[in-house]
Structure 1
Amino acid sequence: MTHEELAALPTTTTIEAAARALGLGRTRAYQLARENRFPCKVIRIGTTYRVVTADLLRLMSSNDDAPRSV
């Protein structure tokens, strides 16, 4: 998922979309959310998990700034 695609997302997005952007599998993303270890803010509404898009964008931007190992 590109930065432009992320920026076009609504205020919150599905955990599946956030997982795709982070390179996580669906099962692992839900596991991290249940354990309160997902790397972005997750809002649980009943049985639905939503990820705050602004947090996802911040995380992706900080990953872009991280030095790459060779």
Structure 2
Amino acid sequence: MRPTLDEIRSWAATIDVHQAAQALGISRSHLYELIKRNQAPFRVVSFGTRYRVITASLIRYLEGE
């Protein structure tokens, strides 16, 4: 189930790719592909082989900024 914008606003400062994909309504594998091609429409940081999405950036994207 896709979370509401109000629910996303209550999330931690960074989230994993799975949560971000749920918020966007896309598959986790599709979001990984976007990240690997530097085409994610929001800020993503990497820690070794792990990626974290900046929640505030995701919210701005979902709000259409």
Instruction: Compute the TM-score of the two structures, normalised by the length of structure 1.
Output: 0.84
> What is the alpha-carbon distance in structure 1 between the residues aligned to residue 42 and residue 17 of structure 2?
10
Runs of 4+ in structure 1 over 4 Å off: none
**1:16 Cα deviation from its structure 2 partner:** 0.9
Instruction: Report the counterpart of residue 20 of structure 2 in structure 1.
Output: 18
Tell me which structure has the larger Cα radius of gyration: 1
Instruction: Report the counterpart of residue 55 of structure 1 in structure 2.
Output: 57
> What is the alpha-carbon distance in structure 1 between the residues aligned to residue 10 and residue 31 of structure 2?
21
Long gaps (5+) in structure 2: none
> What is the alpha-carbon distance in structure 1 between the residues aligned to residue 18 and residue 39 of structure 2?
15
CA RMSD of aligned residues (A): 1.2
Instruction: Report the counterpart of residue 4 of structure 1 in structure 2.
Output: 6
Instruction: Compute the TM-score of the two structures, normalised by the length of structure 2.
Output: 0.90
CA offsets 1:26-64 (integer angstroms, 9 cap, x no match):
11011111111111111010111000000011011118x
Give the length in aligned residue pairs. Answer: 63
Between the aligned residues of both structures, percent identity stands at 37
**1:15 Cα deviation from its structure 2 partner:** 1.0
